[in-house]
Amino acid sequence: MPTITVPEGTSYAAASVLSSVFLLPWQGIKVSGARKAAGIAYPRLNIEKAEMDASPVALKFNYVLRAHANTLENIASIYAMYTYVSLTCVPGNQDLAALLPNLSQIRRPSKFSIVNSSITPINAFRRYRVLASQQLRLLKSETDALRHEVNEWRMRARVPAVEEPRRADGFAVVLSGELEFEAGDMMEGGEETIAIGPQPHSRQSHSPPHFASPPSTAAFENSMYDQHTHQLHHHQLMLQHHQQQQQQESKWAYQQQMRAQQVQMQGAW
């Protein structure tokens, strides 16, 4: 068992420092009560290995020593695993945090902040898509109303009507609201799918059709950003309203074209 030799007359404080540096926690320096009270250390006695192995106290001491060695091995293994995880996982987290604008300037962000910062842009982008789709529908309805009014005056002046410009495929996708919903939200609707068509009007047949405003979600109690059912319901209503509006537009344009041909034929006779 390791021991240290302390010169006679060494103070107790100095001997304690030596024991804490060079010996294990249970391998202190034995000091008698009188010398400990006087502050003078007493050198530890050397015990033969045969006497240690023969005594029951030595057996208990060996058991404690082995347990302590196992504890040290466990601590070393845990520290090695922690070092491995730190070296392998942290760089990946750092790369992910560097892509996020609010964490790019932070040196070592936590995993909790990385997860929350990764989810927040996804929800924000989804809200932006919903808002863009709503604004596009409003602009589309306004332009259709203006085109109807312009065509009415042009038909009275016997000028060719203004046709609707060609749109890209992305326009129809955004207008239909397909980007607003997840894959699990696009389910078959039940009894909530109600057809809302153009409201009846008392104008003559030569006037362009007038449509009611698109159905609104103001009657819903919760926000449409949080309630996917309300979003799906609104999406279905808008699609049906848009289809019926196109049918009425084509029917009205056909009637105006036939009336213009009749007027031309009467003028020729």
CA atoms within 13 A on the CB side of 164: 14
Read out DSSP for 205-252? TTSPP--PPPP-STT-SS-TTT-HHHHHHHHHHHHHHHHHHHHHHHHH
pLDDT at position 28, please?
43
173 contacts 179 by C-beta, under 8 angstroms: yes
Phi, psi (deg, nearest 5) at residue 11? -70, 155
Token digits of residue 60: 């208990």
Domain chopping of the chain, boundaries:
1-46, 48-109, 126-259
pLDDT at position 51, please?
44
pLDDT at position 193, please?
37
121 contacts 135 by C-beta, under 8 angstroms: no
* pLDDT < 50 positions in the chain: 1-7, 9-13, 17-18, 20-54, 183-225
Rounded Cα distance between 216 and 138, Å, is 11
Rounded Cα distance between 175 and 178, Å, is 8
pLDDT at position 147, please?
87
For residue 40, the cross-strand partners are: 11
pLDDT in tens, 30-70: 444 444 444 444 444 344 444 444 455 555 555 555 565 56
Helix residue ranges per DSSP H, the chain = 12-22, 33-38, 49-54, 56-99, 111-156, 169-176, 228-268
Token digits of residue 213: 């405003």
Query: pTM above the 0.85 mark?
Result: no
pLDDT in tens, 101-112: 777 777 777 777
CA atoms within 13 A on the CB side of 196: 17
Rounded Cα distance between 35 and 33, Å, is 6
pLDDT at position 157, please?
86
pLDDT at position 253, please?
80
